[in-house]
Structure 1
């Protein structure tokens, strides 16, 4: 592999046969110049990406350390999850982390309003995020808040091959947060983050929204639905309010059977609050 361009001390563009690749490794470009041969023993990763040009531009404008940290997190995530992530993660996470580190060094922190929901919905990805902020503290001596672990978790989740895209993930998580706020406001309660009933509600809402987006149904026996309405009238009224707001704010129609299941989850929360 022959060097065609040096991006930084740890990344170079090479010609490998007839293919252009980005070779990454600690000190891979040290003492090197164009047309030099790359030491294969120093190559830790080789990128052949559709977005090679974007990655080149990114590597040329951010500190080398930020890219190294991002790659370490990506490698840890792939090993932890036992799956390869979409190749775009090398651009998306690196760009996000570099900006986040720059903000943090200036004392600017962004509050993650979806943190509680991310912690529950994407538990393994959030654990990776926590590992990442600890790793950043060790390597950069910058202590980042758990809010950042949440942002990293979203990037990891959306870059899993079946994870979907960031925009849809954020929209869905935001809707879930709005539903929880509606329920708490209607019942005049505060839910505990470690409450198993809260976890079950959040998980059910996630799958309910996914089913709605795919025009799938979650059926319930009509007699059972009538019984739920009569036995838990307050919780059913709350579920109806949730349905109305989903329709008004997001043009989403909550099927009546889903309202029945959500009523049961709301009732569990309500009972725990009053007991």
Structure 2
């Protein structure tokens, strides 16, 4: 994989870890997830006029992606309510690229090189190692995380294909970001009422704008990379976001790190090196 692609995906991984930390730190995870989705849409709007429309063949993928993104954000919020981030995040992000690597030859006809396959498996192993320190979490949290891993793998395929046929990965990403917040806020209002939602937005709008900008930039970089490299390897490299999440937890949040976290960091870094050399 080219070095410039690797560096941009790693930067996107840092942004991804940041917006997940914002959701986990919030007091109302469902509404914070909706806010971040809306923040991504707001950040996208100013750029739409300067980019070409995606090719017509890509619009069905944008529609399907919106539904999957709605499910993803709901499951993220539910999983963070049910379990610790040390268990939930590694399972969600570690299992998804494993699913993609196992099925990409059937879905996309992509064959990974030996080095790319080893690097992908190494990164996934490092991420899943983190689950050992929180392996006594609730079954409900584990189930939600595994279901979301399937959703992540599915929308990765949908958007990976959609970005390739759209003619412009950035344009695809920005248009794709507009519908999920509509679905998320419509659902929130139907369940919680317009007044509760409006109060949360008025107080915490800045969280959505910061997290949403990071979210859309992170995913846009990943989709662009998928036009330059196999989807499975990009998906695996993107999940190094957990490594940045560990740094944030230790340096910023002053959380204690177990030996499992340091071991996982070494394994993930080794996987990234293998991807570069492979």
Query: TM-score under structure 1 normalisation?
Result: 0.26
Between Structure 1 and Structure 2, which shows a larger proportion of strand residues?
1
Higher RCO by CA contacts (8 Å cutoff, separation 6 or greater): 2
Bigger Cα Rg:
1
